[in-house]
């Protein structure tokens, strides 16, 4: 990314708090380290193929790496906070934020300070926060920020192709399965990972939002 591109991206990923009824997404910081470590200290059986820090040192490294991505304008990392209890229950982020080089005056460019696409990922929740409205509302908040504030054309969601639990959860959001990226990257268990790719397009967002809002009312 050029220096101009980095400056534009950094202006977009200015820390912001996103709040709902069940969850508050706070800009991730070092002050969340103890809460993240506590959240990760319960049963780890459900993390499967997800990178989750397990020690104080790993948590510090995890947070510092996320903050470096934010400062570079490449990610907007959040600490996931259970509003009812006021405790950190996990992490998530908007990342892979891209600005496409549109010709001047092209109608598809929403503004020089608005990205074209983003991805949601790096998501994990403490065992006790899983299968609650927290993840659904967190996704709704981030998708709303991406589509309504940034006005992106697409939001992507990726997961290890072996992680059927995660794939099912993404499908329940209303995302479309785009295919498998073979040998896409190293996996959390040091294998060579095939990635299951999903996406939501701007035109699909109203239906996805209605689906998520309906689920939160159940």
Q: How many domains are contained in the chain?
A: 1
Mean pLDDT of 158-187: 95
In this predicted structure, what is the pLDDT of residue 59? 97
In this predicted structure, what is the pLDDT of residue 184? 96
Range of the domain at 97: 3-217
Mean pLDDT of 201-206: 98
Please report the beta strands in the chain, taking only residues with DSSP state E, as ranges in sequence order: 18-19, 23-27, 75-82, 87-98, 117-125, 154-160, 176-186, 192-201
Mean pLDDT of 113-120: 93
208-214 long-range contacts, CB within 8 A, separation 24+: 208/143, 208/173, 208/174, 208/175, 209/140, 209/143, 209/144, 211/173, 211/174, 212/136, 212/137, 212/139, 212/140, 212/143, 212/173, 212/174, 213/140
The yes-or-no verdict on residue 18 having pLDDT over 90 is yes
In this predicted structure, what is the pLDDT of residue 7? 64
Task: Return mean pLDDT, the chain.
Answer: 92
Instruction: Give the pLDDT band (50/70/90) at residue 9.
Output: low
Instruction: Give the pLDDT band (50/70/90) at residue 43.
Output: confident
Handedness of CA 99, 104, 105, 111 (dihedral sign): positive
- Domain holding 108: CATH number? 3.40.630.30
The yes-or-no verdict on residue 5 having pLDDT over 60 is no
State the Cα–Cα distance between residues 4 and 25, nearest whole angstrom: 29
Please give the distance of CA 214 from its chain centroid, rounded to a whole number.
21
Mean pLDDT of 86-92: 97
Instruction: Give the pLDDT band (50/70/90) at residue 211.
Output: very high
Please give the distance of CA 152 from its chain centroid, rounded to a whole number.
15
What is this structure's pTM?
0.93
Please report the beta strands in 42-153, taking only residues with DSSP state E, as ranges in sequence order: 75-82, 87-98, 117-125
Contacts of residue 94, defined as CB under 8 A and 6 or more positions apart, other chains included, come to 13, 75, 76, 118, 119, 120, 142, 145, 146
Instruction: Give the pLDDT band (50/70/90) at residue 129.
Output: very high
């Amino acid at each position: 990314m050029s220096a101009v591109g980095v400056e534009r991206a950094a202006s977009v990923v200015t820390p912001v708090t996103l709040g709902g009824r069940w969850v508050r997404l706070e800009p991730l910081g070092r002050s969340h380290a103890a809460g993240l470590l506590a959240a990760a200290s319960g049963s780890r059986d459900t993390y499967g193929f997800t990178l989750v820090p397990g020690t104080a040192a790993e948590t510090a490294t995890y947070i510092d790496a996320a903050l470096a991505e934010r400062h570079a304008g490449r990610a907007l990392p959040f600490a996931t906070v259970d509003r009812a209890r006021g405790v950190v229950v996990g992490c998530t982020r908007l990342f892979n934020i891209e600005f496409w080089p549109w010709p001047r005056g092209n109608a598809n460019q929403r503004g020089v300070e608005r990205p074209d696409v983003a991805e949601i990922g790096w998501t994990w929740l403490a065992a006790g926060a899983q299968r609650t409205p927290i993840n659904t509302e967190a996704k709704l908040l981030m998708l709303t920020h991406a589509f309504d504030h940034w006005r992106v054309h697409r939001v992507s969601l990726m997961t290890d192709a072996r992680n059927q639990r995660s794939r099912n959860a993404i499908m329940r959001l209303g995302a479309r399965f785009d295919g498998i990226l073979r040998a896409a990257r190293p996996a959390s268990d040091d294998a060579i990972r095939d990635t299951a790719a999903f996406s939501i397009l701007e035109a699909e967002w109203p239906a996805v939002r209605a689906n998520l809002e309906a689920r939160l009312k159940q």
